[in-house]
Amino acid sequence: MEMRVFGATGRRVPVLGQGSWYLDQAADRAGAVAALRRGMDLGMTHIDTAEMYGSGAAESLVGEAIRGRRDEVFLVSKVLPSNAGRRAAVQACERSLRALGTDCLDAYLLHWRGSVPLEETFRAFEDLKAAGKIRAYGVSNFDVDDLEEAWAVLGPGKLACNQVLYHLGERAVEHAVIPWCRDHDVAVVAYSPFGHDAFPDEDSAGGRALAEVARAHGATARQAALAFLTREDGLFAIPKASSEAHVRDNAGAGGLRLTAAEVARLDAAFPRGPRPAFLPMI
């Protein structure tokens, strides 16, 4: 599993991690826990969750998976915008810590932009950092104007990452968000990297191109898709898997690198389109 420096934190984190959105709804909870643990065995030790996911149920599931292995994990959770006030964010973080069974998060993110001023949220994050409850903090679903405002509040070296919707069918972040983050040493983390029930059909033109690129590496189409999304330094992805077979497939992309010609072929097969007025999110 390739490791990369995670933005301004200076810490090396696996290029592929594990998401947990809807994981609490898996029919087989024990299987979902086993999948997370198998992912850790395979080097996918960046685990992402949020207080929103199942109203904390996903955090509890992640906590079960990492029990006895907390030191192996780069653990991330997210606070809802409605809980992003100075006191409320501290309380929300403490609830997340209890659900996860740990005393510290490696990164704590504002899930999306809300009505609470960023200055207030970031003061809460600084309070949590000073108290040893988080090691770093960042944001999610921030477009460039939001990132610029955050940067004006914080200055350099504070914002660890921006977690965004990014998959072959939704490449809006490539227009401005990824370049901005690259220039400011902010990690970009792709959530829903296979799309939300929208992975390219193998009979489509894009699906055929993806399959051919994958076959050249003895890989699967999903592995090739992950390799495309993480083709540059500073890019990470957190695919979710509720079965050990799926997590093994995801982990197989951890060392896969596409050639420039293959990247160009997928770029043509999945055009990013014009820059939208608003950054897509789900």
Residue 108 bears catalytic tag: no
* Encoded tokens for 6: 């995670």
Strand order in the sheet with 46-48: 46-48, 74-79, 107-110, 137-140, 159-165, 187-191, 235-237
AA identity, residue 184: H
Token pair belonging to 121: 């949220």
Of residues 29, 21, 91, 25, the one with CA closest to residue 52: 21
How far apart CA 66 and CA 101 sit, in angstroms, is 9
Q: What is the DSSP string of 129-146?
A: HHTTSBS-EEEES--HHH
Q: Quote the CA–CA distance of 271 and 169 in Å, as a whole number.
A: 8
What distance in Å separates the CA atoms of residue 70 and residue 73, rounded to the nearest whole number? 5
Euclidean distance between CA atoms 81 and 236, whole angstroms: 24
Distance CA(150)–CA(142), nearest Å, equals 9
**Which listed residue (22, 53, 137, 166) is catalytic?**
53
Q: Report how far residue 110's alpha carbon sits from residue 105's, in angstroms, rounded to the nearest whole number.
A: 13
- Residue 71 has a CB neighbour count (10 Å cut-off) of 7
Active site residues: 53
